[in-house]
Structure 1
Amino acid sequence: MERKLVIIGIDSLIPTIIEKLVEMNRLPTFKKLMEEGSYSRALPYWPTETGCNWATIATGTPPSKHGCKYVIHIPGTSLDKTVFGFSSEYCRAEQIWQVVDKLGKLSIIIDYPQSYPINIKNVIHIGEDGYPGPNSRFCIANAHAYTNVKKVEELPEYLKKYLTIIEIRNAINWRNLPERRDLLEIEIPLKTREETIIFYGLIEKEDGKYSKVLLFSEKNYMKKLGEAKRGEWSNWIKYCFKLHGKKTYAYFRYKVIELSPDGRKIHIYFSEIYPEEGWAYPSELARELIDIFGPYLHRPTEQAIVVSGASDTETFIEEQEYQANWYTRVAKYLLKKYDWRLFIMKWHGPDFFEHFTLHLIDPTHPLFDSNRKDEGWRLYARFYGICDRMIAEILETVDDGNTIISVVGDHGHVANIVYHVGNEILEKEGYLYRNPDGSINWSKTKAIFVAEGVWINLRGRDPNGIVKLGEEYEKMRDEIINILLNLKNPITGEPVFSLVCRKEDAKILGMGGDRDPDIIFCYNVPMYSKINKATISRHPIWGLVTGTHGAFLPSVRTRIGTIETVFIVKGPKVKKGYKRPISISLSSVAPTLCYLSNIPIPKDAEGPILYDIIEK
């Protein structure tokens, strides 16, 4: 019997958090799925991150076969050259929607990694290729804040780009201005990827206090674009920008996060600027969806925007909730409108959230405050509640008794008490050399850190290779492995790495392919930290980003956090109320779901079907 398949992908679902919140009766839909279906923790592949493991979920293959990671190096290019591994062209294994397409059936895809550029005929596609970083394909400008309150110079360099210091002054040289002398103005240099546009803000009083900001593209009171009161969002603003050299209409809004009653302090936050079309297939679907559900933002916010001070936690949650609700309503609309066989999506919200909040609930982190533990769990219940409601509404549309429904994550998070190292180690040991201008001297360099591993500058493979394959190559790998294994955290004295090995010795972690580094490593994550609060606060990357994942063993955990994630499935032939005692591999997701849905298993899949969750 033909069955439809629904895969609701949610980035960084942490099983320990879900299990606790279900126990607290805060996640009714997750609880319902567990009672009416089968539940398991799931082990990701290395590196434990987005680009790698969503590809595994869609193909049933390890990264050594599908070739995707967040950042990948393509052999044959310069060793310091990398690309983001989210484009469909980088996936070398058959994806589940390609199987469905061969059946002549329709797939509905929402922003799933490696799904764009579109590589099938029968598809409704919303979003991009699942890349969650800044400056995605169609992004015109990332979220940004303008303020006279924050001290930008105190921020780490990578965070300064999210804030611009502005001045408040008396309003002058305006046309059609009301007869008032107490108006203040700000000038906002809005920088997109291709241009800088000057906007102007007027700060107005209500009841004798400054409380509202009006936005203009020129100093003409009759040409207002938007307005917002303190603590509120403006209307959506449609404006013409440049994207890829062409004029493009796009949407944005702003929020007045802070405005002092005397008009001396201001903090105004601008959302991502994202076009009205180009992100949907068929193309005419974009405007149709905007007309019904409002503007689409692909990446409204992320952890760096919060830890920089450009946004606050409340604004972050409001933006993530807007996107989650938009995805949910669009999914329901498309699922009702079209005759489909596969629905698959990925929402990234929890990953962003956990990166800057895990210390609120995980005692491993030095910034954990036991007096605020309940507050932290309430915040997590609120955010995971967004996931719960998303799933509930999609279930209402598809739960017809003949559909296989799955909720799955790609990795988890652990407390960020990890001591990271890089090329400074190889320079110190004489494996990497630089020219006077700081560039790499390839004629002398034998090895280099690239993304989450070490590559040997190999003759015949790399453009400037100097190390011979064979004895020299193996000896060099042994030397570097020993150096890394003996590295100690200078603060705690603990080993920096829990595992360092050749890529072919890490096949169980999914390694061994030509896009994998010659040496892979897994950072050591202690469950009980020896780092105190004062020490961690002096290191900006630690004090601000409190949850992490990546180059870790898939089994790593801290006292609440874990790198494991979640797999839940319900539908015909699926055991009810079954909790699997042993974690699955994410490579089992596609084979199992296809088997249950009577869809052919992707041809490259290696993961086993989970027969123990299936009724006999």
Structure 2
Amino acid sequence: MKGKKHIGAVRLKLVELSPDGARLKIYRSQVHPTSEFVHPPEVGEELTDRFGPYINEAVERFIYVLDKQTIIEEFTYQIKWIANAARYLMEKGASLYMMHWHLLDTIQHVFLSSIDPTAGGYDPEKAEKGWEILKLSYRLADMLVGEFIKLLDDSSYVIVVSDHGHVPNKKRFPLLKALLEAELIAAKKNEYGDLVVDWQRSKIHISTTNIYVNLKSRYENGVVEDSEYEKVRNQVIDLLRNLKDDEGHHVISFAFKREDAAMIGLWGEPVGDVVYAYSPGYTWSHNRFEENISVDRGANHGPQIPTAETLYGSNYAVFMIAGPNIKKGYVRPLEMLGPVLTVDVAPTVSYL
């Protein structure tokens, strides 16, 4: 959308107006384009004309400042919009209706750690508020799924799938400090006097849970000869596997070479020369210099191993399906068959 003009639609609600007019609170929804947010693009205007403005990022960003009634009203509007659009397009002969709903992700990033005693900085006095918001979020999710269940017939399926779960953060480990001490990265001070990575002088580049060797043959400003490639990779893996925190726990759960990454479902050009993941409880620490291990709040789904779980959270994703010839009440036995993999979802939908 950058550099282009678009027509947008918006919802407004007068939330508060004092009798003397001295205090005014207005909720304004996300301004969303009326076209090019669905496929085919022209259907967007048709749906907007029939059902009103589409809202992608409903009110989860204002969960602290809006009243509960407005929150429920706006999410109910969003859910009804999505369901009405599905019903309308099904009546017009659509064979697939696929949509994304982000509320549970946003809410768990913020509030999961407030209910989980294993989280960093857990405060039992904040647990009640966390439970209230999480329960409300799952009631809304139940409402959304329920609207689609109403659309089931003898030739339709409802599939609920997520790309990840959530587990609480506990600690941040000074990873950049360890890499700097091992001379795998270089550092400099920025205009504010803060220490930052000098990537052009570093032997490696870090991107979340992938590490790339800064090869001369690959990058314009590379510093590592091809003959040193394996040496650098081995040095990185050895360092990561031996990092321990102040309690003697391993910070990194696994670290291995890209050619071994297929065993966890990763392959292709974007995969790093070294792939690693943090142990349960640790969050990203590749993006800023820190001297010491620190407590970290919130929750995440990217840094920790895919099987990380606590009593209250899990990194495992969700896969649920209902429809003709689907066994009712079946629960896949993880211990015997393992989890459903994300690469299994599209072929399953295509088969159906």
SS class of match (1:578): coil
Cα distance, 1:498 vs. partner? 1.6
Q: Does 1:300 align with 2:58?
A: yes
Aligned to 2:274: 519
Name the CA shift for 1:281/1:574 in 2 (closer, same or farther; >3 Å): closer
Aligned to 1:501: 256
Cα distance, 1:564 vs. partner? 0.5
8 Å CA contact 2:119–2:281 kept in 1: the answer is no
SS class of match (2:157): strand
Aligned to 2:154: 401
For 1:325 and 1:466, locate their aligned partners in 2 and report how far apart those are by CA, in whole Å.
Answer: 56
The one-letter amino acid of 1:364's match is T
Aligned to 1:244: 3
8 Å CA contact 1:456–1:473 kept in 2: the answer is yes
Name the CA shift for 1:376/1:436 in 2 (closer, same or farther; >3 Å): closer
The one-letter amino acid of 2:52's match is G
For 2:256 and 2:67, locate their aligned partners in 1 and report how far apart those are by CA, in whole Å.
Answer: 40
Residue 81 of structure 2, aligned match among 319, 326, 333: 326
Q: Does 1:451 align with 2:208?
A: yes
Question: Which structure has the larger Rg?
Answer: 1
Residue 285 of structure 1, aligned match among 40, 43, 47: 43
Cα distance, 1:563 vs. partner? 0.3
The one-letter amino acid of 1:427's match is L
8 Å CA contact 1:271–1:300 kept in 2: the answer is yes
The one-letter amino acid of 1:511's match is L
Residue 414 of structure 1, aligned match among 160, 167, 172: 167
For 1:277 and 1:420, locate their aligned partners in 2 and report how far apart those are by CA, in whole Å.
Answer: 45
SS class of match (2:100): strand
Residue 590 of structure 1, aligned match among 335, 338, 346: 346
The one-letter amino acid of 1:509's match is I
The one-letter amino acid of 1:279's match is F
For 1:576 and 1:404, locate their aligned partners in 2 and report how far apart those are by CA, in whole Å.
Answer: 13
SS class of match (2:231): helix
SS class of match (1:432): coil
CA deviations over 1:221-270 (Å, ceiling 9, x no partner): xxxxxxxxxxxxxxxxxxxxxx6253x43233456677788877776654
The one-letter amino acid of 1:342's match is L
Q: Does 1:477 align with 2:230?
A: no
Normalised by the length of structure 2, the TM-score is 0.79
The one-letter amino acid of 2:103's match is G
Q: Does 1:559 align with 2:311?
A: yes
8 Å CA contact 1:301–1:319 kept in 2: the answer is yes
SS class of match (1:522): strand
For 2:180 and 2:125, locate their aligned partners in 1 and report how far apart those are by CA, in whole Å.
Answer: 45
8 Å CA contact 1:418–1:523 kept in 2: the answer is no
SS class of match (2:212): strand
Q: Does 1:341 align with 2:95?
A: yes
Name the CA shift for 1:275/1:344 in 2 (closer, same or farther; >3 Å): closer
SS class of match (2:312): coil
Name the CA shift for 1:405/1:360 in 2 (closer, same or farther; >3 Å): same
Name the CA shift for 1:485/1:322 in 2 (closer, same or farther; >3 Å): farther
Comparing 412-421 with 431-440, greater Cα deviation is found at: 431-440
SS class of match (1:344): coil
CA deviations over 1:306-364 (Å, ceiling 9, x no partner): 5xx6x45846665444333321221122112x213222222112111111111343232
8 Å CA contact 2:121–2:170 kept in 1: the answer is no
Aligned to 1:510: 265
Aligned to 2:219: 462
SS class of match (2:44): helix
For 1:257 and 1:489, locate their aligned partners in 2 and report how far apart those are by CA, in whole Å.
Answer: 48
Aligned to 1:124: none
Cα distance, 1:272 vs. partner? 2.2
Q: Which has the higher contact order (CA 8 A, sep 6+)?
A: 1
The one-letter amino acid of 2:327's match is K
Name the CA shift for 1:255/1:487 in 2 (closer, same or farther; >3 Å): farther
SS class of match (1:342): coil
Cα distance, 1:495 vs. partner? 2.9
CA deviations over 1:104-140 (Å, ceiling 9, x no partner): xxxxxxxxxxxxxxxxxxxxxxxxxxxxxxxxxx4xx
Residue 357 of structure 1, aligned match among 111, 115, 123: 111
Q: Aligned residues: percent identity?
A: 33
8 Å CA contact 1:405–1:569 kept in 2: the answer is yes
The one-letter amino acid of 1:476's match is V
Normalised by the length of structure 1, the TM-score is 0.48
Cα distance, 1:516 vs. partner? 0.8
The one-letter amino acid of 1:556's match is A
SS class of match (1:402): coil
For 1:380 and 1:388, locate their aligned partners in 2 and report how far apart those are by CA, in whole Å.
Answer: 12
Name the CA shift for 1:458/1:301 in 2 (closer, same or farther; >3 Å): farther
8 Å CA contact 1:422–1:449 kept in 2: the answer is no
Name the CA shift for 1:323/1:420 in 2 (closer, same or farther; >3 Å): farther
Cα distance, 1:286 vs. partner? 2.6
For 1:422 and 1:272, locate their aligned partners in 2 and report how far apart those are by CA, in whole Å.
Answer: 37
Unpaired runs of at least 5, structure 2: 283-293
CA deviations over 1:189-245 (Å, ceiling 9, x no partner): xxxxxxxxxxxxxxxxxxxxxxxxxxxxxxxxxxxxxxxxxxxxxxxxxxxxxx625
For 1:367 and 1:461, locate their aligned partners in 2 and report how far apart those are by CA, in whole Å.
Answer: 43
What root-mean-square deviation, in Å, do the aligned CA atoms of Structure 1 and Structure 2 show?
3.4
SS class of match (2:99): strand
8 Å CA contact 2:243–2:251 kept in 1: the answer is yes
Cα distance, 1:461 vs. partner? 1.9
For 2:241 and 2:161, locate their aligned partners in 1 and report how far apart those are by CA, in whole Å.
Answer: 34
8 Å CA contact 1:485–1:499 kept in 2: the answer is yes
8 Å CA contact 1:320–1:349 kept in 2: the answer is no
Name the CA shift for 1:382/1:406 in 2 (closer, same or farther; >3 Å): same
Cα distance, 1:283 vs. partner? 4.4
Name the CA shift for 1:455/1:390 in 2 (closer, same or farther; >3 Å): same
Q: Does 1:429 align with 2:182?
A: yes
8 Å CA contact 2:167–2:313 kept in 1: the answer is yes
The one-letter amino acid of 2:29's match is S
8 Å CA contact 1:459–1:469 kept in 2: the answer is yes
Aligned to 2:299: 547
Name the CA shift for 1:473/1:352 in 2 (closer, same or farther; >3 Å): same
- Judging by fraction of residues, say which structure has more strand: 1
